[in-house]
Amino acid sequence: MKIKYFGHDAFKITQEKHGVRIITDPYEPECYNGSIKFSEIEDETEFVTVSHSHPDHSNFVGLTSKPEVIKSIGKMEKAGIIFNGIDTYHDNSKGAERGRNIVFTIKADDITVCHLGDLGHILTEEQVNKIGSIDVLLIPVGGGPTIDKSAVDSVINALKPKIIVPMHYKNEKCLFNIAGIDQFLKGRKGVRHFKESEITITKDSLPHETEIFVIPPSN
């Protein structure tokens, strides 16, 4: 499996066996009064997952390949990829402030990736059970409209991933009033910084102890 980080919450997951591609939460460049400065996503894909309808997560119409859009809860298998959407909220008030959010698990090449979207609360036991065993966790770490630092730790402890990939944090191309990645990384062990925006993961290469993979955005 290959995982490419475009920026914000947008990734491309490529199945090694048949080359099937999935893009997660594609952003709209310059949305929210220019707060999102990442460039247009030009990569082609067969599928796109959308955690919620905000413009920095749902710009599937901007993708040139016109992929099949997956934005519903429940389990489904498509082209040998197993998708599972779990109903959650974008806030800690059961959606009263920012609406619903879908957590997606994506299983390909015998590796399960969990994309939390803009999760806004700690997970219930029922939600943890629905998510199940995962290998790679794509998790928002900037706080603000998403989970804060203590909730981030709670989610990590509940899901027990082998690899953590931070997303949704402030940088020179995301100008939201949220924290940068350094606040999440402070005091943590097992941090690996990559130079390239696309990495390859195999079942055999998964670490025995949880590691944090910091992947630089490509866009």
pLDDT one-digit tens code per residue, 54-73: 999 999 999 988 999 999 99
pLDDT at 212: 98
Q: Which residue type sits at 150?
A: S
Query: Can you give the pLDDT at residue 91?
Result: 87
pLDDT at position 17 over 90: no
Rg for the chain (alpha carbons), in Å? 16
Q: What is the pLDDT of residue 182?
A: 96
Please tell me the predicted confidence (pLDDT) of residue 218: 96
Q: What is the pLDDT of residue 187?
A: 93
Closest by CA position to 218, among listed 1, 11, 2, 19: 11
State the total domains in the chain. 1
Q: Which sign does the torsion angle of CA 159, 130, 197, 171 carry?
A: negative
Q: Mean pLDDT across the stretch 129-146?
A: 97
* Distance between CA atoms of residues 122 and 128, nearest Å: 10
Is-contact 219 192, C-beta < 8 A?
no
| Res. 44 pLDDT band, cuts 50 70 90 | very high
| C-beta of residue 106 within 8 angstroms of C-beta of residue 81 | yes
pLDDT of res. 2:
98
The answer to pTM > 0.85 is: yes
- The answer to whether the beta carbons of residues 25 and 146 sit under 8 Å apart is no
Residue 197's pLDDT is 98
Answer whether residue 187 is part of any domain. yes
Is the residue at 25 inside a domain? yes
The answer to whether residue 86 sits within a structural domain is yes
User: Closest Cα partner for 56 from 142, 164, 152?
Assistant: 142
Q: Is residue 137 part of a domain?
A: yes
Residue 92 has pLDDT above 90, yes or no: no
Asked if residue 219 is part of any domain, the answer here is no
Which structural domain, as residue segments, surrounds residue 178? 2-214
pLDDT of residue 184: 97
Res. 94: pLDDT tops 90: no
Cβ atoms of 104 and 115 within 8 Å: the answer is yes
Q: Percent of the chain beyond pLDDT 90?
A: 94
Residue positions counted in the chain? 219
Q: Is residue 118's pLDDT more than 90?
A: yes
Look up the CATH number of the domain holding residue 118: 3.60.15.10
**Which spans in 30-85 are helix H?**
31-34
